[in-house]
Structure 1
Amino acid sequence: MLKDIAWVEDWHYDTGSEDEPLQFYLDALCNSTSFDLLLGYFSSSAINVLSLGFANFIYKGGKMRAVINNVLSEQDKNAIEKGQDKENFSTIYNFNNIKELESSLDQYGRHFFECFAWLIANDRIEIKIIKPKNRRGISHYKSGVFSDGENSIGFTSTCNFSYFGFIENLERLDCTLSWENERYLNKIKKQEIDFEIFFSEESDLVDYLEIKDVMVALKDEFGDKNIQELLIQEKDLLEKRNEIFQKSKIQKSIKNAIEHINQFIEIEKQPRFPYKEGPRSYQKEAYDSWFKNNKKGLFAMATGTGKTLTALNCLLNEYQNETSYKAIILVPTLELVEQWKEECKQFNYTNIITVSSKEKWKDKLSFYNTLSKLNDPSFIVIATYASFVKDKFQSFFKDLPKQTVFIADEVHNIGAPNISKLLPKIHLEKRIGLSATPNRVYDDTGNALIDSFFNDKDPYTYNFSMQKAIEEGYLCKYYYYPHVVSLTEDEFEKYREISKKLAQFIDSVTKSFKKCKEVEILLLKRKRIIHKAENKLPKFKSIINEEFQKRGNLKYTLIYTPEGVLENNDVIMEDNYIENEEDIFLIDQYTKAITDIDFSITARKFTSKTENRKSVIKQFSESDLHVLTSMKCLDEGVDVPRAELAIFCASTGNPRQFIQRRGRVLRKSKGKQFAYIHDLVVIPKFNMDKNDETFNIERSFILNEMKRVENFFSLAINKAEVYEKLSEICMHYNISLYDINNEN
């Protein structure tokens, strides 16, 4: 740090001597974490000259504060103005990479000013602009303090903080070291106090200006030699710069700065958490719980809270303890294979092997299996569940080192018969299961196998609920609007006839339907009536039109449409259908209804047949595409960075589906305050006679619909409004929204 540098013995730096002011700044920047500068004239060209030093300073988290005069170059003024507009600031460049940062600082052009604006927007350089009171001229302060958090160096200088000041002028800089004696320490403290008075805008000697009040330097208007520097082409100074850089002491300072950068580049190559603020507190808690549970467990985490980051952070902790990392990650879809791969790259994990029907993975995995027996390489294997169960993959899987971390995303898939039968053969001891809803519906056997395999404890090894995520501000709050949709008379008669037939298959002991083929067929027929329900589409059109009128647009809108195909005025479920060119899918009707509202609305279907899916999601996130309509493709495996409005036109009785769908729209994003969810709730026929022979069957159906409503309504901002809206229906069918999940 600062105390370790061989500073000039007499603490004087003079242009043209062996000890240039430039050398002082390079050494100070490379070994400091804060830099306060009080001066008359400032030009960001100084950052260009000191690019190596500034790259080190900024990469280590250094922050510069400057109080400057009110005369700037046009480029500097524009860059400061752009950076100060933090809300609207954006840049195409990534300045978090040390090599890219150093390159950006060393290019005097548009790229450089983008970098300068970025430093201001990210509070790495804070600037206050002053003008002397009651007199003409500019402020000629030229002093500052560098600090590493423990020691400080104060300096006063005759040279301006500019390219011209460092390269062209004959200048002197004197410095004071805080650790030399108490007198120098007090002198630096006095400098710090004086600076704080200016920076906190408490000085009576100057006026404080906004960037709009800054004067742009013009040759004809300002004759000062230092001002002219703004008009000098950089090429005219290059030869003099090169001359100075030939001096042995500056070369030594440059060499040290480059060594620092090379060290940082090596650090950057190591696995690390992708965000500088590090993992969130609950992600740390998840690792601690997993560690205490013998490195096994289920993480039940709400959609949008970063399950992937949480699991990869566990792997990062293992790497830090063992100096290598090994993991196999199982996912249900090809989209998730790609998403996990990208997330792994964000952590700087390398040697990533993807295993799916689209990959030639056999030789790669065989190579790492062989190498692991000779060495201790790091690698990550990401495979679909479909590939995992195949004999070809299992033959390689059994040879993976037992310290490999086994991660199962959407862990409920593990309980499926074709996968659960393999669990006893899995020898990997470190295990993580991830899901917003780990439990399998109506599958106690599968749930027991999952719990046993992950050594899970009730309720879970780690649980981060949606309620907690909303309360702690990780997901946004939302309004929920249920819309009751009844069947038409004709639909209801068909529905009622099927219900009568179903009544014959009710078990007198369990009070539920018997398990047989006839029941499956009847339930499917009844489900088709619900999906087709004529009144859904008009209700949907009404909701869409109302939202468009209220918002003025439909940006960031997700629509979950019914599945199926309209054919001969009947609906056929997609799973049981062979497509014909002339058939009309229900999703097409809903998509057309959106674009019919206004020609300015852009909407697109998002299905298994959608090409360039990443591009479509990107267009949606950037609002180039306003509305996405989907049936199931947005349920799992697709990361939607921003959505604000969602309309559920169809939902299954599986809580996993609607919980994940809700999570899609609750992710926080810049400029988003709340989410809004509309939900079509089907009621076969309200006010059915309680003595009707199918009343209890209808009540059972409504009860399942209301379970979804309760899940949504319980966390909504407008809970009282929802309760009042549905109270009449609930009273008629003797259903309590507050106690619905305790009812069998």
Structure 2
Amino acid sequence: MLKNLNLKYVYDTSNDDLIEDLFVPLLSESTLYFRGVGYFTSGWLESASKGLKELVKNEGNAKIITSPNLSQKDWKAICKGEKAKSNELLYETIRQEVDNLEETLTKKTLVALAWLIADELIEFRFAIPLNKKGDYHNKVAFFRDEEKNSVVIHGSYNDSKHGLLNGESLSVFCSWREGQKAYINNHQNKLLDIWNGEDSFFDTYKMSKAIKKKIVKFTEYGERPYESPIKKKNRISIPDGVKLRNYQMKALKNWMEKKKGILHMATGTGKTFTSLAIAIKLYKKVNKLAVIVSAPQSHLINQWAEESRKFGFKPFKCSGKWKNKLISKIQNYNLGFKKTLFIITTHNKVSDKDFIKVVSKINGNILYIGDECHYLGADKFSKALISKYNYRIGLSATPRRWYDEKGTKKIIDYFGSRVLKYNLSKAIENNFLTEYKYYPILVKLNKYELGEYEELTAKINKLHYRHKKDDEEGNDYLEKLNRDRAKIIKKAANKIHVFKEKFEEFQKNHKSIKHTLVYCAKGEIDKVHDLLLDLEINARKIDYETTPDNFSKKRILDKFKKGEVNVILAMKCLDEGLNIPSIQNAFILASTSNPREFIQRRGRILRPAENKDYAKLYDLVVIPPINYKYMEVSKKILEKEMPRFSEMAGNALNKYEARKKVLPILRKFNLEFLLDLKPWDIYKKNIKNKEV
């Protein structure tokens, strides 16, 4: 939505890229682009193509008012002539410009322009002053999104490639900013008056059918560079040319037998695709179906929307002022105007009483898809698990909740048991995921951190054995102590120093460090970023402060994919949903004992890509110093860190090389057996013994 963009009040070519920083973000969030401009060249389309593609995806369109490029002789003829003569001269001028398109435009841009006009996604009208002494010289752009938020930009910039070279500045006005709505309405009304030929200063001419036909002929030069907006009958189906893998077919068959169940599939093996295939199969069986998808983070909504469109669904994203629009869509669905309803939202919203109240009005069959369903066992999200949804799919690489048996039970009771388990080793063996090497990097706690860890462990143990389960205050305090203790490992003081040393070594030994991910602990990302900048590394941060909206995040990820950004630093916001197969390397600085986190992170780098033989995973593993005063707590630290090591090393190409790295420290504490204990082995042992 436009409201989610972090828009400045003024943009200028001295400090900003007007296309990338302003036009592309605005077009990407809009359903209407209304432009009045003195000069327009189709070369501008090439520069803004990324934003225009998103406008098309949003089922939007563009209306452009501009001046024809008339010669002085033509102007004189129009001044003397009547309306018919003016039309004739205008037609001839534009016809000549169309004839020049084939020579002046690249084939790609020419085809794009032709298709946009053919599909009526972009429409031109031409304005000529009634006084015949000047031309249409206003430069204003109006953007509107599906929630009716509006933005107006006003300034001296023309929509031409040459315009990008001038010293230009643009003022930005937003409908949600105090005192700016009247300004926006005035500009919108002015554009509408000119467009409809109701302005007292201009004559407005439509593009003739002959001119349009001449331009549309260029569509013969290439395919439509975007998904067709033309509605097709029975288009809800698995995309052409796509075939389900054997294990996906098995999941579909098993689910259709039970009509509910969990797809327990390794990250990167196609959970989203499989669930959409199930939705198609179910829709064809029941003939009318509402689908509700919820995901843990807002950026995943856009990914679900993009994937669902490939299957022919028309997704409705619940963001911004969603309520009235959703009520309207549900009414149309209930009245039989639509056979499908596809709603995408977050776990937070799907658990909200207002959302539940609205979707409870849906008549008939509802399929609920819980993406990363392990989240839904938490108290605040489990309110979403209502009986109204008679068909259910849970998706997760790690459906069991870590140290939350009650939450795990909620998930299984609601979604049902697993209908498929497809683990990482099978995916690698069958070449659906790439192989990888695992490099543990040992980081020692200092004696102060070890002492603090011991002190917190003593408090946790004392409270754990004494407090009652229904003691809310005691539970909150226990959680705080556990978080404080975990922070000691996540933010171990030696990590930054060791990381710098190892990254310099990594840089020295690799021809290219492109497509590298670095996972940081909360509060540490700025330190790591500064360190990489000192090493002259082109690195960008993705966190909730630097990239507050999905568009900012997408821009950085696009540059990362192209190799324009070498390294991305992230925290938890990329644990789910990042799909960049070209990622080659990952450094994990944020240590955790929760398998959900590190299994998801490993999955980020294992998607196959061209010229990617294997991926590399560098993991900073915290170990205690040898201090006989703290022997027991030192063992506890290793018991928390080693299961992650065991999981990561277990499927690695260099499994035994990695083991040699940690074996000496384990021998000193007589803990060699930890080499083969996976996270859930330790979990079961601790639950049984009530250890922490």
Please indicate the TM-score interval, normalised by the length of the shorter structure: 0.5 to 0.7
Q: State the TM-score, normalized to the length of structure 2.
A: 0.61
| Aligned-partner Cα distance in 2 for 1:414–1:477 | 31
Task: Give the 3 Å change call, closer, same or farther, for CA 373–112 of structure 1 in structure 2.
Answer: closer
Q: Does 1:429 pair with 2:369?
A: no
User: Could you say which residue in structure 2 is the equivalent of 1:688?
Assistant: 627
User: Quick check: 1:302–1:663 contact (8 Å CA) kept in 2?
Assistant: yes
Q: Does 1:285 pair with 2:250?
A: yes
User: Quick check: 1:483–1:680 contact (8 Å CA) kept in 2?
Assistant: yes
User: Quick check: 1:335–1:638 contact (8 Å CA) kept in 2?
Assistant: no
- The 5-angstrom pairing of residues 385-404 of structure 1 reads 385-404=347-366
One-letter amino acid of the counterpart of residue 518, structure 2: I
Q: Does 1:329 pair with 2:290?
A: no
Q: State the TM-score, normalized to the length of structure 1.
A: 0.57
| Aligned-partner Cα distance in 2 for 1:503–1:296 | 40
Post-superposition CA distance 1:647-695 (Å, at most 9, x none): 001122211000000000111112211100000111121x333xx4x42
Q: Where does structure 2 lack aligned partners over 5 or more consecutive residues?
A: 1-51, 54-101, 112-227, 686-692
| Aligned-partner Cα distance in 1 for 2:479–2:375 | 23
Alpha-carbon shift at residue 558 of structure 1 (Å): 0.3
RMSD over aligned CA atoms reads 3.3
- The 5-angstrom pairing of residues 292-441 of structure 1 reads 292-293=257-258, 295-350=259-314, 352-356=315-319, 358-375=320-337, 377-423=339-385, 425-441=386-402
User: Could you say which residue in structure 1 is the equivalent of 2:430?
Assistant: 472
| Aligned-partner Cα distance in 1 for 2:651–2:517 | 20
Task: Give the 3 Å change call, closer, same or farther, for CA 589–320 of structure 1 in structure 2.
Answer: same
| Aligned-partner Cα distance in 1 for 2:466–2:657 | 39
User: Quick check: 1:641–1:667 contact (8 Å CA) kept in 2?
Assistant: yes
Task: Give the 3 Å change call, closer, same or farther, for CA 366–426 of structure 1 in structure 2.
Answer: farther
User: Could you say which residue in structure 1 is the equivalent of 2:38?
Assistant: none
| Aligned-partner Cα distance in 1 for 2:229–2:383 | 48
User: Quick check: 2:586–2:617 contact (8 Å CA) kept in 1?
Assistant: yes
Alpha-carbon shift at residue 495 of structure 1 (Å): 3.6
User: Could you say which residue in structure 2 is the equivalent of 1:272?
Assistant: 237
Alpha-carbon shift at residue 373 of structure 1 (Å): 3.8
Residue among 398, 406, 415 paired with 1:454: 415
Matched length:
458
**SS state of the match for residue 418, structure 1?**
coil
User: Quick check: 1:353–1:365 contact (8 Å CA) kept in 2?
Assistant: no
| Aligned-partner Cα distance in 1 for 2:278–2:532 | 44
Alpha-carbon shift at residue 708 of structure 1 (Å): 0.5
Residue among 586, 591, 602 paired with 1:646: 586
Task: Give the 3 Å change call, closer, same or farther, for CA 701–275 of structure 1 in structure 2.
Answer: farther
Residue among 458, 468, 491 paired with 1:532: 491
User: Quick check: 1:658–1:708 contact (8 Å CA) kept in 2?
Assistant: yes
Q: Does 1:714 pair with 2:650?
A: yes
Q: Does 1:557 pair with 2:557?
A: no
Post-superposition CA distance 1:66-111 (Å, at most 9, x none): xxxxxxxxxxxxxxxxxxxxxxxxxx99xxxxxxxxxxxxx99974
| Aligned-partner Cα distance in 2 for 1:451–1:498 | 34
User: Quick check: 2:301–2:317 contact (8 Å CA) kept in 1?
Assistant: yes
Residue among 657, 682, 685 paired with 2:597: 657
- The 5-angstrom pairing of residues 447-596 of structure 1 reads 447-456=408-417, 460-499=418-457, 501-502=459-460, 504-505=462-463, 507=465, 519-564=478-523, 586-596=524-534
One-letter amino acid of the counterpart of residue 465, structure 1: N
**SS state of the match for residue 382, structure 1?**
strand
Q: Where does structure 1 lack aligned partners over 5 or more consecutive residues?
A: 1-91, 94-106, 116-262, 565-585
| Aligned-partner Cα distance in 2 for 1:473–1:452 | 34
| Aligned-partner Cα distance in 2 for 1:374–1:472 | 44
| Aligned-partner Cα distance in 1 for 2:373–2:645 | 25
User: Quick check: 1:273–1:347 contact (8 Å CA) kept in 2?
Assistant: yes
Task: Give the 3 Å change call, closer, same or farther, for CA 365–283 of structure 1 in structure 2.
Answer: farther
User: Could you say which residue in structure 2 is the equivalent of 1:620?
Assistant: 560
User: Quick check: 1:556–1:645 contact (8 Å CA) kept in 2?
Assistant: yes
User: Quick check: 2:372–2:396 contact (8 Å CA) kept in 1?
Assistant: yes
User: Quick check: 1:353–1:361 contact (8 Å CA) kept in 2?
Assistant: no
Q: Does 1:700 pair with 2:665?
A: no
Alpha-carbon shift at residue 406 of structure 1 (Å): 1.1
Task: Give the 3 Å change call, closer, same or farther, for CA 717–328 of structure 1 in structure 2.
Answer: same
User: Quick check: 2:333–2:341 contact (8 Å CA) kept in 1?
Assistant: no
Larger CA Rg, structure 1 vs 2: 1
Task: Give the 3 Å change call, closer, same or farther, for CA 550–518 of structure 1 in structure 2.
Answer: same
Q: Does 1:603 pair with 2:539?
A: yes
| Aligned-partner Cα distance in 1 for 2:431–2:269 | 10
Alpha-carbon shift at residue 277 of structure 1 (Å): 3.3
User: Quick check: 1:402–1:427 contact (8 Å CA) kept in 2?
Assistant: no
| Aligned-partner Cα distance in 2 for 1:641–1:616 | 16
**SS state of the match for residue 633, structure 1?**
helix
Percent identical across equivalent pairs?
31
Task: Give the 3 Å change call, closer, same or farther, for CA 667–111 of structure 1 in structure 2.
Answer: same
Alpha-carbon shift at residue 644 of structure 1 (Å): 0.7
User: Quick check: 1:355–1:383 contact (8 Å CA) kept in 2?
Assistant: yes
Task: Give the 3 Å change call, closer, same or farther, for CA 529–268 of structure 1 in structure 2.
Answer: same
Post-superposition CA distance 1:194-225 (Å, at most 9, x none): xxxxxxxxxxxxxxxxxxxxxxxxxxxxxxxx
One-letter amino acid of the counterpart of residue 354, structure 1: K
Task: Give the 3 Å change call, closer, same or farther, for CA 298–602 of structure 1 in structure 2.
Answer: same
User: Could you say which residue in structure 2 is the equivalent of 1:230?
Assistant: none
Task: Give the 3 Å change call, closer, same or farther, for CA 429–590 of structure 1 in structure 2.
Answer: same
Task: Give the 3 Å change call, closer, same or farther, for CA 523–430 of structure 1 in structure 2.
Answer: closer
**SS state of the match for residue 395, structure 1?**
helix
User: Could you say which residue in structure 2 is the equivalent of 1:734?
Assistant: 670
User: Quick check: 2:260–2:415 contact (8 Å CA) kept in 1?
Assistant: yes
Task: Give the 3 Å change call, closer, same or farther, for CA 274–625 of structure 1 in structure 2.
Answer: farther
One-letter amino acid of the counterpart of residue 305, structure 1: T
| Aligned-partner Cα distance in 2 for 1:534–1:112 | 53
| Aligned-partner Cα distance in 2 for 1:528–1:110 | 55
| Aligned-partner Cα distance in 1 for 2:106–2:313 | 33
Alpha-carbon shift at residue 390 of structure 1 (Å): 2.2
User: Quick check: 1:682–1:705 contact (8 Å CA) kept in 2?
Assistant: yes
| Aligned-partner Cα distance in 2 for 1:391–1:385 | 12
| Aligned-partner Cα distance in 2 for 1:412–1:386 | 14
Alpha-carbon shift at residue 554 of structure 1 (Å): 1.4
User: Quick check: 1:651–1:657 contact (8 Å CA) kept in 2?
Assistant: no
Post-superposition CA distance 1:432-454 (Å, at most 9, x none): 00011111111111211211112
